[in-house]
Amino acid sequence: MRPWGRALVWIMVGLAARSCLRTTGGRAGGLRALLPPDLGALRSERVVGATGVQLLLFAGFVPDVATGGWARDAQPPRTLAERERRIRPTWKPGGQLSYSLGAAGQPRSLFGLAQRSLPPASTVGELCSALEAVGLTEEDVGDDGGVARQMLTWDAPPEPEAGPLLASSRVTLLVLSFDATAECRTLLDCLRPGPTNELLAATAKRFVESRPAQSVSVIAQWEVAAAMAHIGAKSQAVGTPGTFENTAEIYELMGKAAREHAAPAHDKQQLVLLAHPDHLPRALRIGRKVLPTLISNRPPLLPALQPYTLDWPSQTPSAAELNLYAGVTATVQSEGKKVEASWYDARSGYFPDGDPQKWAHSRDVWVLYNHWAMAKAKLTGIIA
């Protein structure tokens, strides 16, 4: 952005700040209603700014080459499909927006656009002010405002009827993988299933061992199942090695397998979802849509971290009502060497390995990728 343009934006941000903070009936009104407070937990200018770019594109704005700012598209999107296409990553068919951290200099770089066209913002309030200065309003997303809110929301509430995890129930642990490596092609020939999957396997093993008097079975996506086999832990593998299957498709397979572990009618059965912590919110919503159609007694699906907040890495692990990740350590293979890892170290379960899911290598990239994935899930109907 040209110096005079950036100065003008800063002046407009200051003028817009008050309107962003207005409330209506005790809740934030206007544009602020589209921006859930969850994202502010990161305090990351890079992520918050890139979220602003996503919302501008979703709402029908385009980069203005002349000013270095933003302008409304002469042909704004009219359907959710058109809005989703505008923020689709280049990693997906038809995607035109690069989510790569190394592509900041490219014209259609998500992080580059944020750096060039929006003032720094590390809180939701600051982002709201910057977007209002550009001219974005709640009306720009119209009937898709609810999708925009869901797209940016990171809460993962347990089902109201679920209650706590009971020591007397029969538990089925469902474990979703998080990337893999090119060397992991089959369940039996999988020497390096991916460091995050190795950490997930250690987490599942520890959970089972912590409840010796309870009936606990594990159904794991095949990469995690391979990692569990390496450490002498049992699980039932699902998924097709060498084939990308989305979360809903894996749930279909897990639901069929879970029938074999169904508790008698007089017993309490509970399902626990274990995934990378930042995968939990979206995976939980998909599971609640898909699984009830596959399991007749419809046991509740509990997230492995309750309550979930986006700033979970900085929270005290013991403060959670349920936390399968606390106290887990494992030796994992990353970048050709063995490293000690936990969920609460500086990596937070992200590693620069894996293929083809490059969006799973960095937390900053994953958060932005997940926003698009939520919009896609709403479009395809796999989230209610």
User: What CATH code is carried by the domain that includes residue 281?
Assistant: 3.40.50
pLDDT for res 186: 81
Token look-up 């990469």 returns 223
CA angle 202, 205, 210 (to 5 degrees): 125
Among candidate residues 189, 335, 174, the one with its CA nearest the CA of residue 257? 174
Token look-up 């594990």 returns 218
Is residue 311 a part of any domain in this protein? yes
Q: Is the pLDDT of residue 239 over 60?
A: yes
Is residue 43 a part of any domain in this protein? yes
Residue at which a domain ends, from 91, 125, 152: 152
Q: Is the domain of 183 the same as that of 244?
A: yes
Is residue 157 a part of any domain in this protein? no
pLDDT in tens, 242-263: 778 889 999 999 998 887 766 5
Question: Binning pLDDT at 50, 70 and 90, where does residue 45 land?
Answer: very high
Q: Confirm if 176 and 250 have CB atoms less than 8 A apart.
A: yes
Q: Is the domain of 285 the same as that of 218?
A: yes
Q: Is the pLDDT of residue 6 over 70?
A: no
Phi-psi region of 94 (alpha: psi -120 to 50; beta: other; left: phi over 0): left
Q: Is the domain of 122 the same as that of 23?
A: yes
Q: Confirm if 369 and 110 have CB atoms less than 8 A apart.
A: no
Distance CA 305, CA 287 (A): 15
pLDDT in tens, 170-228: 899 999 999 877 777 788 888 889 999 999 999 999 999 999 988 899 999 999 999 99
Q: Is the domain of 227 the same as that of 331?
A: yes
pLDDT for res 339: 96
Q: How many residues does the chain have?
A: 384
Q: Confirm if 141 and 59 have CB atoms less than 8 A apart.
A: yes
Q: Is the domain of 89 the same as that of 223?
A: no
Q: Is the domain of 114 the same as that of 177?
A: no
Token look-up 């390096």 returns 192
Domain count, the chain: 2
Q: What is the CA radius of gyration of the chain?
A: 22
Distance CA 300, CA 192 (A): 33
Full domain range(s) for residue 110: 3-152
Is residue 374 a part of any domain in this protein? no
Q: Could you tell me how far CA 211 lies from the centroid of its own chain?
A: 29
Model confidence, pTM: 0.89
Kind and range of the H or E run holding 79: none
Find all residues with CB under 8 Å of 148, minimum gap 6, and list them: 34, 55, 58, 59, 141
